[in-house]
């Protein structure tokens, strides 16, 4: 099950991309996954973090694509499904949230999925998310 954490500070790459899109006065979604696994690791916990709307994948992040991803959307109500899919481990998580975006607002979704432990940072026990709607 995914846990929500509203108090976590946004990573530097996310803040940089957010300022860029706010400067352009765009409305949409910014997705980032805090993946610490190298592209060539052989772990069963490797997963894909993705964002879906009405059965259509808007964007995804994996250990091969770690930079924040922005998708422009029209203002209005959106039903998003936040997913972490692990093919080898068979343990996936997902949840839905309805978000009403006004002109110029950006939904920021940052995920820290369960991963192999590394010597400098322990993996969380469950997929954790930071989800915020930010106004210009």
> What pLDDT was estimated at residue 115?
72
Work out the mean pLDDT of the chain and round it to a whole number. Answer: 83
pTM for this prediction: 0.82
pLDDT band at 5 (very low <50, low <70, confident <90, very high): very low
pLDDT, average across residues 14-22: 93
Q: HSE-up of 88 (CA within 13 Å, CB side)?
A: 7
CA angle 103, 107, 108 (to 5 degrees): 145
CA angle 134, 121, 14 (to 5 degrees): 20
> What pLDDT was estimated at residue 100?
95
Domain map (residue ranges) of the chain: 3-134
Between 12 and 30, residue with greater pLDDT: 30
Q: Show the tokens assigned to 23.
A: 């400067």
Query: How far apart are alpha carbons 48 and 62 in whole angstroms?
Result: 5
Of the candidate CATH numbers 2.60.40, 3.30.1330, 2.70.98, 3.30.300, the domain formed by 3-134 belongs to 2.60.40
Query: How far apart are alpha carbons 17 and 119 in whole angstroms?
Result: 29
Query: How far apart are alpha carbons 97 and 88 in whole angstroms?
Result: 27
8 Å CB contact between 92 and 102? no
Query: How far apart are alpha carbons 119 and 136 in whole angstroms?
Result: 38
Whether the pLDDT of residue 1 is over 60: the answer is: no
pLDDT, average across residues 83-105: 86
Query: How far apart are alpha carbons 33 and 63 in whole angstroms?
Result: 9
């Amino acid at each position: 099950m995914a846990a929500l954490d509203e108090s976590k500070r946004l990573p530097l790459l996310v803040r940089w991309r957010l300022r860029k899109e706010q400067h352009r006065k765009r409305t949409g979604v910014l997705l980032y996954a805090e993946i610490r696994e190298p592209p060539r690791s052989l772990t069963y916990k490797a997963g894909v973090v993705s964002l879906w709307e009405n059965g259509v994948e808007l964007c995804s992040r994996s250990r091969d694509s770690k930079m924040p991803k922005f998708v422009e959307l029209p203002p209005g109500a959106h039903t998003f499904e936040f997913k972490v899919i692990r093919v080898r481990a068979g343990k996936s998580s997902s949840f839905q949230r309805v978000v009403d975006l006004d002109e110029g607002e950006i939904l920021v979704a940052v995920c820290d999925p369960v991963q192999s432990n590394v010597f400098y940072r322990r993996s969380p026990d469950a997929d954790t998310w930071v989800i915020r709607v930010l106004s210009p």
